[in-house]
């Protein structure tokens, strides 16, 4: 509960992954996570706040770097929802190994690393050095639902118990 207490101190609450999937139908076909020998591979997450896509749009067109940074923080919070669903406890994270961040970017926008810092900075705030991953920040033109950012995370975890993956759009069927 140490990590969740830190999040509460920041005014953030980890959403419930099942609720997010139920409310935000994507039309996509994938699973939330897949564990392999102590490493958890997570599907991409976008910024969700109050059950809805948060700060949609294009960086350098209708969103600022600061708005993108905030969106990336919420994408990381959505990732933590998947981690909590999978592991049951955010304190089981031993190390965030890698993060790939995609930024919906206007032509000529080249501050993707500063935008994705929002996600990395949040993970470092709550996990310390264990939250600092290797990383890539990639500009792209268009993300599903007009999301401004999407992140993909791989992490090491302690213990053996992992919940079975939640199928995306499972609730739409």
| pLDDT single digits (tens) 96-112 | 999 999 999 999 999 99
If we measure between CA atoms, which residue out of 97, 98, 42, 51 comes closest to residue 74?
51
Q: Give me the mean pLDDT over the 149-160 stretch.
A: 97
Q: Distances in Å between the alpha carbon of 54 and those of 29, 70, 138?
A: 22, 9, 20
**What pLDDT shows up at residue 172?**
52
Tell whether the model's pLDDT for residue 1 goes beyond 60: yes
Q: Give me the mean pLDDT over the 122-131 stretch.
A: 98
| pLDDT single digits (tens) 8-57 | 999 999 999 999 988 877 778 899 999 999 999 999 999 999 999 999 99
**What pLDDT shows up at residue 169?**
73
Structure tokens belonging to residue 91: 């304190």
**What pLDDT shows up at residue 170?**
52
Residue located via tokens 């290797």? 134
Residue located via tokens 């080249």? 110
**What pLDDT shows up at residue 171?**
52
Question: What CATH number belongs to 2-172?
Answer: 3.30.1330.40
**What pLDDT shows up at residue 154?**
98
Q: What angle is formed at CA 77 by the lines to CA 136 and CA 107, rounded to 5 degrees?
A: 40
Other residues' Cβ atoms within 10 Å of the Cβ of residue 97:
14
**What pLDDT shows up at residue 16?**
95
Please state whether beta strands 93-104 and 134-140 pair in parallel, antiparallel, or not at all (unpaired): parallel
| pLDDT single digits (tens) 58-77 | 999 999 999 999 999 999 99
């Amino acid at each position: 509960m140490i990590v969740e207490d830190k999040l509460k101190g920041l005014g953030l609450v980890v959403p419930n992954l099942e609720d997010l999937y139920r409310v935000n139908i994507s039309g996509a076909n994938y699973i939330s996570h897949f564990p392999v020998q102590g490493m958890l591979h997570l599907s991409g997450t976008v910024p969700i706040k109050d059950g809805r896509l948060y700060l949609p749009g294009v960086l350098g067109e209708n969103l600022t770097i600061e708005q993108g940074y905030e969106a990336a923080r919420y994408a990381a919070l959505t990732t933590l929802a998947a981690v909590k669903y999978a592991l049951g406890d955010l304190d089981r994270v031993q190390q965030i190994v890698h993060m790939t961040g995609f930024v919906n970017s206007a032509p000529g926008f080249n501050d993707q690393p500063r935008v994705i810092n929002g996600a990395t900075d949040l993970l470092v705030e709550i996990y310390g050095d264990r939250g600092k991953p290797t990383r890539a920040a990639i500009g792209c033109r268009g993300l599903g639902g007009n999301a401004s950012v999407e992140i993909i995370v791989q992490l090491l975890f302690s213990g053996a118990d992992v919940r079975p993956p939640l199928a995306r759009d499972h609730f739409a069927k």
